[in-house]
Amino acid sequence: MKKLNYLLASFLLITVACKKEDPILDDSGPKLVFKYKFDTTQERLNNFGQPATVPAEHGAQTPSFNGMSAHYIELAPNAYTALGSGEIVFFGPETTVGGQKAIDFAKSVIKGDGQVFYSKPISQIKPGTYEWARVSLAYQNFDINFRWDGVDYVGTVASFVAYRTYIKEYKIKTAQMSINANKDQGYWGFEATYPFVGAVTIDGQAPATTVPNPLFNTSPIPAGSCVVTGQFSNGLTITGNETKDIVVTLSFSIKDSFEWFDVDQDNIYETQAGDYPVDMGVRGLIPTVEY
């Protein structure tokens, strides 16, 4: 994908104060709660929000997700709401330690399937009806199947999908990786454990990250931003008179979301054969509401 439009990114990413602690806020009043769901059967989409098959010469598999972090959540009233013009309900920490402004991975919150990622008092959200949710993803950690010397193994991938991330260090599964630098969208680390050898790690850079946006024609997203867009089936209505929490489940399609160039065309991930990752983006978002 093309580099992020830095001017537009700056407009979006400088206006909200950031907290160091877990962004699940403690408040006695009713809250808007966001939960993660990683769906293995949800439709696989492309960047335009259209159904997508795996390209020729590529292999793909549905990984087993361990956790995910987001950087930005926005509620949009309609399909013509420009990015950044809706109700921004969450904005994660950033830093310039690595030079250019980047997400501060050390302060990112990582949550798993069914867990609450974020909550905010409803009293702090503008009343209205919102038809769309936008979520800028930052980090994914998942397990994949691969083959080495004819033996099948399970390895773990740490994938950084945001526009740019400052990484001091990170853990893939058991291995700690020291980086101390900014990394652009698509950076990944991989860990596998082999008999008599132990844990082995490699890292690299994927050339693309799919970011489904069904509003491509009316409300485009800058390349590199990883803002995934999804529509509420009946909208999300905030009246300002709520007496109990509203729970929004952010269901992400992870169907065949780990994609690689498949040299042998056998749909088996084998780095020995020359296979390499080409895409690690999620494949769609469906937000649902529970009042």
For residue 190, give Cα distances in angstroms to 104, 155, 200, 273: 21, 7, 8, 17
List the domain boundaries for the chain. Answer: 6-137+160-166+207-261+278-290
DSSP assignments along the chain, one per residue: -PPP-HHHHHHHHSSS---SS-SB---SS-EEEEEEEEESSSPPB-TTS-B-PPPTTEEEE--EEEEEEEEEEEEESSTTPPTTSSEEEEE--EE-TTSS-EEEGGG---B-TT-EEEEEEGGGS--EEEEEEEEEEEEEEEEEEEEETTEEEEEEEEEE-SSEEEEEEEESSS-EEEEEEEEETTEEEEEEEETTTEEEEEEEE-SB-----TTTTTS---TT--EEEEEEEEEEEE-S---S-EEEEEEEE-TT-EEEE-TTSSS---GGGT-EEEE-----EEEEEE-
Is a pLDDT exceeding 50 seen at residue 225? yes
Residue 187 confidence class, pLDDT cut points 50, 70, 90:
very high
Q: Which pair of tokens denotes residue 196?
A: 């008599």
CA quadruple 40, 118, 92, 21: dihedral positive or negative? negative
Query: Quick one: pLDDT at residue 22?
Result: 54
Residue 224 confidence class, pLDDT cut points 50, 70, 90:
confident
Q: Which residues pair with 104 in a beta bridge?
A: 166
Read off the pLDDT of residues 29-86 as tens digits, 9 standing for 90 and up. 999 999 999 999 999 999 999 999 999 999 999 999 999 999 999 999 999 999 999 9
For residue 234, give Cα distances in angstroms to 171, 238, 286: 40, 13, 12
Q: Are strands 164-171 and 176-184 parallel, antiparallel or unpaired?
A: antiparallel
Query: Quick one: pLDDT at residue 24?
Result: 55
> How many other CB atoms sit within 10 Å of the CB of residue 97?
14
